[in-house]
Structures are given as structure tokens and as C-alpha cells.
Amino acid sequence: MSLLRGVAEGVSRFVVRHASPGSKEWAEGLAREADFVESDWKAVAWSLGSMRVLLSYREAPLRSFAELTKAAEKYAEAKRQSFGTTNALWISNLCQTLSWSVCFFLARSWQDRIGYSLLTLGYVPMTIYTLIQSRKEFDVPDRFDPASMIQYYKAGLERVCNFLAPSSLVYVYSYTLIFAGMGIVFRKVFFGLPTSLLYIGLALLLLQKRQHNLRRLEEIEALLHASS
Amino acid sequence: MKIRKSTQTTQLLAEFLKAEQEWRYGYDISRNTGLKSGTLYPILMRLAEHRLLETSWETNEEGRPPRHMYRLTQDGLRYAREQISAASVPTLGKPAFGGVGGL
């Protein structure tokens, strides 16, 4: 085997090893095809091109109704488990709201006052929202009712995908104010540029997550359509 | 159906329509269309996600690794025909700068 072939194989193996669960099959397909490329240079180019599948994370596809039921159960279970955290979250948000408002009154410069007021205004809706969420424990359907669990899972994904849903609006509004406030309050320390970059990074992550959820929703709809 | 309508996608669909019922290999498609692996596979993946494309592993021959094969589903064939016919209809827009002539 030539050195170039070795490189091509090495890259293909790397891609297969690191591909996300939903892309694994495709990465393996790409790796197999590299063996059929006649020229060594083209084989290297082929395997380098296959690295493209690493750029997007894909969950393992839902191929059957049984897999969908399992995914819905997992989602419902995660929601049940998260209620303890939601309680801690709203209390923590309340503490933040109170402490930032105290800081507002103690602040000496007008810039700090603006920063603290933005932080307070950002945490108030988050506190209210997380408090409401912590009271929704009984919305999770029963473990022995797969149909309701699937509907619950689907509704949850739809809600997250909808940018105009109240939850999305609360998050966007709150995080914008919180990051802007932090940028102002910690401007002399280290926060200015990193905060902006963090916000952009978070926004990109959210967009990617939304893309996953949209894919998952399409799979669910196709499976529900096939089973009806 | 939310599939990005790019010239590469149309090119790929046209390639599949050349032999509608046949299973195709990735590298062969790449050679025929000129699409690089990094362009071709994301499109194939998107088509498969929308259930327009089905995939299969070739039965293993002696000493040869199995190959991943692709074929359009019935929905995929319908979609491909629509896309190809839409792409072949010339766009009747306004000519740039009001067209030539009329001097």
C-alpha cells in the first residue's frame, strides 16, 4: 500500500470513529468507497472530503415505532428527573434577581447602574418562567401510556423549534439583557469581547439544536404517518 | 418539503433519474456528476432524512468490503421529476437593463 493510500485510509478511519451516531453509516459508506477510487491522490481527496460529515452532529435515526416509543420514554423520564433541578433553578434565579437589584442601589457610576438594571430586568422573567415550569410536574404523561408520551415528546420538540413560542422569547429576551448587563458591569475585568463571543456561540448552538429537533420532528411525523 | 434547491441537488437527482430503479454507488455518482464527496454526501444524507432516498449495504462479495448503495424512493422519484422539470423550464423574467433593441 502506498503512503497516500495509507493517509486516505487513516483519514477515513478517523471520520468513521468520530462520526455522530446518525452519520456513522454514511461515514462507513464513504470509507468503503475510498477503496474504489483508482488514483491515490483522488483517494486522499475523497477521504478529506468525507470529513464534512463530522461538521454536523446527527442523532441516531428513529427507524421504527418501537425506537420512537423508547425515545419518547427517555424524553419523558428526563423531564420527570429535571423537576428537582427546575426548583433549584427558580430559587437561584430569584436570588440573582435580588442580589443584582441590591447592587443597582449600591452602584456608584451610572454605567454600573445601567449594567445592574439590565441584569435585574433579565433575571425577573427567567425567575417567573422557571417558577411556572417547576409547577408543571404533573403534565408528564404516565409511563404506561406510549401514545401520550409520543405526543408529549412531539409537542416538546415543536415548542423548542418555534422561535415565537413564549419560552423561546423569554430566553432570548432574558439572555440578551443578562449578557449585555454582564458586558457593562464587568467591562473593566475581562468580560467585554468574551461575553459577546459567548453569546454568538450560544446562539449558534441553539440554531444547531433547532436543526436537530426539526429533523427529529420530521422522522416522528413520518413514523406516525406510516403507522396510521 | 424543506430541501435546499441547489444546482448540485438538481444534478444529483438528474443522475438518479438516468437509471431510476438501479442501486448506485457513491463514487460512481461522484464521477458522473463531478460532485466531490464533501458536497455529494450531505445532499444524499438530506434526501435520506426526507425519505426521498433509500440506502442499502451491498451483499459482501468474497474479499471485497460491502458498499453503501443508494436509490430514490417512490416519493423521491416524484420529487426528482418535479425538480428536473421545474429546472428545465426557462425563467421568464425581465431582461436586464430593459433588454436590447428599440434603438
The DSSP string of chain A is --HHHHHHHHHHHHHHHHS-TTTHHHHHHHHHHHTT-SSHHHHHHHHHHHGGGGSS--PPP--SHHHHHHHHHHHHHHHHHHHHHHHHHHHHHHHHHHHHHHHHHH--SHHHHHHHHHHHHHHHHHHHHHHHHHT-GGGSPPTT-HHHHHHHHHHHHHHHH-TTSHHHHHHHHHHHHHHHHHHHHTTTTT-HHHHHHHHHHHHHHHHHHHHHHHHHHHHHHHHHHHH-
Residue scoring higher pLDDT (A128 or B97): A128
pLDDT of residue B99: 43
Cα(A125)–Cα(A57) distance, rounded to whole angstroms?
32
Cα(A165)–Cα(A222) distance, rounded to whole angstroms?
24
Task: Give contacts of A53 with chain B, Cβ < 8 Å.
Answer: 41-42, 45
- Minimum Cα–Cα distance from A52: chain B residue: B38
The DSSP string of A41-98 is HHHHHHHHHHGGGGSS--PPP--SHHHHHHHHHHHHHHHHHHHHHHHHHHHHHHHHHH
Distance to chain A for B71, nearest Cα, Å: 14
At residue A60 the predicted structure's pLDDT band, cuts being 50, 70 and 90, is confident
| Listed range (B7-11, B19-23, B69-73, B94-98) with the worst mean pLDDT | B94-98
For residues B31-48, give the mean pLDDT.
92
pLDDT of residue B43: 93
pLDDT of residue B101: 40
pLDDT of residue A138: 62
Task: Assess contact for A199 and A179: CB atoms under 8 A.
Answer: yes
Q: If you average pLDDT over every residue of chain A, what do you get? A: 85
A74-129 pLDDT per residue, tens? 888 888 777 677 788 889 999 999 999 999 999 888 888 999 999 999 999 999 98
pLDDT at B1 over 70: no
ipTM: 0.80
- Give B57's strand partners: B68
Task: Give contacts of A226 with chain B, Cβ < 8 Å.
Answer: none
For residues A181-205, give the mean pLDDT.
75
Considering the entire predicted model, what is its pTM? Answer: 0.65
Task: Give contacts of B51 with chain A, Cβ < 8 Å.
Answer: 222
